[in-house]
Structure 1
């Protein structure tokens, strides 16, 4: 059965500890808004200590493995609680995927890009937009500070924090104005937050069908969604 939003959020909870409050808010909203679009995600990394960063930097250099970062300890926004990494949470609720072409909710848009769009709308910078080293799992909120400034002891100013909060609040207010959230339950168990529009509740068909024990298929030729009930 599809995990509820709270179950999905709880899986990311350990990786949200120590984040800057604004980054925490943005990451939490990213989880929620991705889920309501049928794309559950897992935050796989948040705050990373200097020791952990140095160990990661050594991978592929002085330790076995492939190179995954060009940042030494103190040179990553993760080290200051200003960045998170994510992965797609698969239907079994345990496995994750970094497949950027996966379309688990069958809406003809890659799940990864749907998450990226939500992150950018919240004011987060995406590592996939970098011109040199690409980090497609990475989001960060720099508050206008460089790594050099952070290493020297600078921290987000009140005005920068306020500006970041305005972006998040503005985005949320626009959504609230357009959509009224309705809790959707199956047999008393919440499966999703649906959207009310003129008395009609909208919820991702895959989430609802799988909660009812059915399978969902999509025929791209006829553009038909087919729901098949499992034999009892």
Structure 2
């Protein structure tokens, strides 16, 4: 029986060079799947253009089956925002791509459990693609294309912060609270709900076309904990109140239940 740390070590080499936030998401994926009795192994991570071209040649100019439609520079693997995964069997050595396997005997295929947890973390699954389905593929590209990455673009800090907030909220859910913590959490929920109601009353018809720069982070924090569904078309007073609440610590991660 492998410990969680032993399992994580088996994926360490394939996580080298990945975007740091994306790497944290994958670390959380391995943890959450392990808690469900499913062992996830990262089998592919960052690839160079040359490595990508070699894979592209397979089934075309080299023997083997076609396994990718992307040349070097046209795969998210080339920019540190994509991985491939497999299941590690209970012997701790055998790797499986069997999508119907159910080693933990809960009637749900282990592969499906991995995909379920991946989507909770905001990962995109290649099995959902309409053409050239890539079942072992997971990625997080923040709306950017490979052309964007080739041009040197990267996710915004606001996008990265949103992902980090989601990871922290899931961490809070995974860790059991004491009776005192539950009581304090409930009190904070009530406070936030009252403040959320107050925010709604401050909305007026004098809506601004976009969120002011000085209120952007506060709105991101509020949305991350579920206090806001959208920050669009708010009034000056609305954004001022959200900013004040954020500075007061109301939107700290874990304060609002999802």
What stretches of structure 1 of length at least 5 have no aligned partner? 180-232
**Cα deviation, residue 90, structure 1:** 0.9
- Give the whole-Å Cα distance in 2 for the aligned partners of 1:98 and 1:53: 21
Question: What is residue 61 of structure 1 aligned with on the other side?
Answer: 60
Equivalent residue number for residue 227 of structure 2? none
Over the aligned positions, Cα root-mean-square deviation in angstroms equals 1.4
The equivalent of 2:25 in structure 1 is 26
Kept in 2: contact 1:22–1:165 (CA 8 A): yes
- 1:143 touches 1:164 (CA, 8 Å); kept in 2? no
How much does 1:178 deviate? 6.9
Question: Paired residue for 1:87?
Answer: 86
- Contact between 1:83 and 1:141, CA under 8 Å: does it hold in 2? yes
2:64 maps to 1:49: no
Query: What residue number does 2:190 align with?
Result: none
Counterparts of 1:64 and 1:106 in 2: how far apart (Å)? 38
Structure 2: distance between partners of 1:167 and 1:142: 16
Task: Note closer, same or farther for the CA distance 1:178–1:123 as it changes in structure 2 (3 Å cut).
Answer: farther
Larger strand proportion, structure 1 or 2? 1
Cα pair 1:49 1:79 within 8 Å, conserved:
yes
Contact 1:50 1:74 in 2 (8 A): yes
Residues 30 and 118 of structure 1 are in contact (CA less than 8 Å); yes or no, is this contact kept in structure 2? yes
1:172 and 1:95, CA in 2 relative to 1: closer, same or farther beyond 3 A?
Answer: same
In the other structure, the counterpart of 2:233 is: none
Q: Which has the higher contact order (CA 8 A, sep 6+)?
A: 1
Partner Cα distance (2:2, 2:42) in 1? 15
Please report how far the alpha carbon of residue 110 of structure 1 lies from its aligned counterpart in structure 2 after TM superposition.
0.2
Structure 2 CA distance for aligned equivalents of residues 145 and 177 of structure 1: 36
**TM-score when normalising by structure 2:** 0.66
In structure 2, C-alpha distance between the alignment counterparts of 1:3 and 1:28, rounded to whole Å: 16
CA offsets 1:147-183 (integer angstroms, 9 cap, x no match): 111111111121221122222222222333579xxxx
1:57-77 Cα shifts (integer Å, max 9, x gaps): 111111111011111101111
Structure with bigger helix share is: 2
- The number of residues matched between the two structures is 178
Distance in 2 between residues matched to 1:30 and 1:3, nearest whole Å = 17
- Compute the TM-score of the two structures, normalised by the length of structure 1: 0.74
